[in-house]
């Protein structure tokens, strides 16, 4: 099934907290439950939480008993605020909410018409995400040569989107095209999205891979075992700085040191031209328990002070190119991002 879908008024999503041990579907019947699912990372990954937020508004529209269009818009505004506050870094969430509210306000429909419209717009965002990911996969796969070994960080696969994926979509597409590739997967502490999700997805697709501790990537790069790096992104600033899962920056610096191209893959909805550079991107700080515990088991002394930024920013000078559904963007990013986003 898809990572997330809405069927007969119920939003169903794969519970990403339980993989790979259990494959479970969570059902959200109201927008507050959906907001909680984004917060607790039942669903995660930039495009996936964008689609989830859109479905959240669809649920809010169906829940609302507002008799008039204006009253319904007020209910949607209230739900939008709660959904917007779930996670701060991935701009796809805000992008989807902005698009939904703009589209809703632009109609002249009565309350019932508007309810149906909001549900249809959310479905449209989810459908578009799949098509966009397919286009990114094709554009990015052209950068991978037969025989390449590539490194990826975090999870940028089908689970991080509605389907197909960003960086992992590119890698899976190259494999499908018959290229003999090998993938090094960073485990991605603290939440282990690489070990739990990316490794699982690659094995489902039969892509040859090696799971490594995050600390090991420099070792393999220096020994010439990795030819390219592909990561996703949660937000790209106007100058091409890339926010992505914590550890991406360190990986990009080591890649540069070793002359290895570093590609970030994202839909154009991840590009935020309102921010001049990556230092302006809000970085989510998450619960200390993600660092002090693994699967509920403590691995650090009780009461230890912890820092847990969920993302970091890779300055654009370390990025070889940005792969989008509209094509591959090369430096100078400030100029070329404006061109590609129209």
> In angstroms, what is the minimal distance from the CB of 16 to ligand MRU?
8
Active site residues: 234
Closer of 311 and 333 to ligand MRU (Cβ)? 311
Q: Which two tokens stand for residue 116?
A: 């149906």
Query: Among residues 63 and 290, whose Cβ is nearest to ligand MRU?
Result: 290
Report the residue number, 55 or 117, with the smaller CB distance to ligand MRU.
55
User: Residue 30 CB, nearest distance to ligand MRU (Å)?
Assistant: 22
Minimum separation from the CB atom of position 97 to ligand MRU (A): 17
Nearer to ligand MRU, 100 or 246 (CB): 246
Cα–Cα dist 173/153, whole Å: 17
Q: Judged by CB, which is closer to ligand MRU: 90, or 122?
A: 90
CB of 54 to ligand MRU, least distance (A): 16
* Minimum distance from residue 68 beta carbon to ligand MRU (Å): 37
Q: b/e map of 302-322 (b: 16 or more CB within 10 Å)?
A: eeeeeebebbbbbbbebbbbb
How far apart CA 63 and CA 209 sit, in angstroms, is 45
- List interacting residues with ligand MRU (CB under 6 A): 44-47, 90, 154, 156, 160-161, 166, 193, 232-234, 244-245, 310
Q: Which is nearer to ligand MRU, 183 or 310 (CB)?
A: 310
Evaluate whether 267 touches 166 at the Cβ level (below 8 Å): yes
CB 93 within 8 A of CB 53: yes
- In whole angstroms, how close is the CB of 84 to ligand MRU at the nearest point? 16
> Is there a contact between 292 and 300 (Cβ–Cβ < 8 Å)?
yes
Q: Position of tokens 């519970």? A: 15
C-beta of 97 vs 310, nearer to ligand MRU: 310
| Helical segments of 2-151, H only | 31-39, 46-63, 69-84, 91-106, 111-141
Taking the C-alpha atoms of residue 197 and residue 185, their distance in angstroms, rounded to an integer, is 10
Query: Do the beta carbons of residue 211 and residue 285 sit within 8 Å?
Result: no
Do the Cβ atoms of 145 and 179 come closer than 8 Å? yes
Closest residue by beta carbon to ligand MRU: 232
C-alpha distance from residue 37 to each of 87, 129, 171 (Å)? 11, 20, 28
User: Torsion angle of alpha carbons 102, 108, 111, 113, nearest 10°?
Assistant: -90
Q: Are 171 and 160 in contact (CB under 8 A)?
A: no
Q: DSSP letters along 174-195, please?
A: HHHTT---EEEEE--TTTTHII
State residue 165 phi and psi, 5-degree precision: 100, 170
In the complex, least distance from residue 36 CB atom to ligand MRU, rounded to whole angstroms: 15
């Amino acid at each position: 099934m898809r990572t997330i879908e809405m069927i007969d008024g119920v939003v169903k999503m794969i519970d990403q907290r339980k993989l790979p041990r259990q494959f479970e579907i969570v059902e959200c019947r109201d927008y507050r439950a959906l907001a909680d699912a984004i917060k607790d990372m039942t669903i995660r990954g930039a495009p996936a939480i964008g689609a989830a937020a859109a479905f959240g508004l669809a649920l809010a529209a169906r829940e609302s008993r507002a008799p008039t269009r204006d009253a319904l818009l007020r209910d949607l505004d209230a739900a939008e605020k709660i959904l917007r506050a779930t996670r701060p870094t991935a701009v796809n969430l805000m992008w989807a909410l902005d698009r939904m509210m703009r589209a809703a306000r632009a109609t002249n429909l009565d309350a019932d018409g508007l309810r149906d419209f909001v549900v249809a717009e959310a479905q449209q965002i989810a459908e578009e995400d799949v098509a966009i990911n397919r286009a990114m996969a094709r554009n990015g796969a052209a950068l991978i040569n037969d025989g390449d070994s590539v490194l990826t960080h975090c999870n940028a696969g089908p689970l991080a989107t509605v389907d197909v994926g960003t960086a992992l979509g590119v890698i899976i597409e190259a494999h499908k095209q018959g290229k003999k590739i090998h993938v090094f997967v960073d485990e991605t502490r603290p939440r282990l999205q690489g070990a739990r999700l990316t490794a699982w997805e690659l094995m489902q697709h039969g892509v040859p891979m090696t799971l490594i501790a995050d600390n090991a990537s420099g070792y393999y790069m220096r020994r010439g075992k990795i030819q390219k790096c592909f990561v996703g992104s949660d937000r790209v600033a106007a100058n091409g700085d890339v926010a992505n899962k914590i550890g991406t920056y360190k990986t990009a610096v080591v890649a540069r040191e070793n002359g290895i191209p570093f590609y970030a893959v994202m839909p154009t909805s991840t590009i935020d031209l309102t921010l001049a550079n990556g230092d302006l991107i809000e970085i989510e700080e998450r619960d200390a328990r993600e660092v002090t515990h693994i699967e509920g088991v403590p691995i650090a002394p009780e009461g230890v002070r912890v820092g847990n930024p969920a993302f970091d920013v890779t300055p654009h000078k370390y990025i070889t190119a940005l792969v989008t559904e509209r094509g591959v963007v090369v430096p100078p990013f400030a100029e070329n991002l404006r061109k590609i986003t129209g």
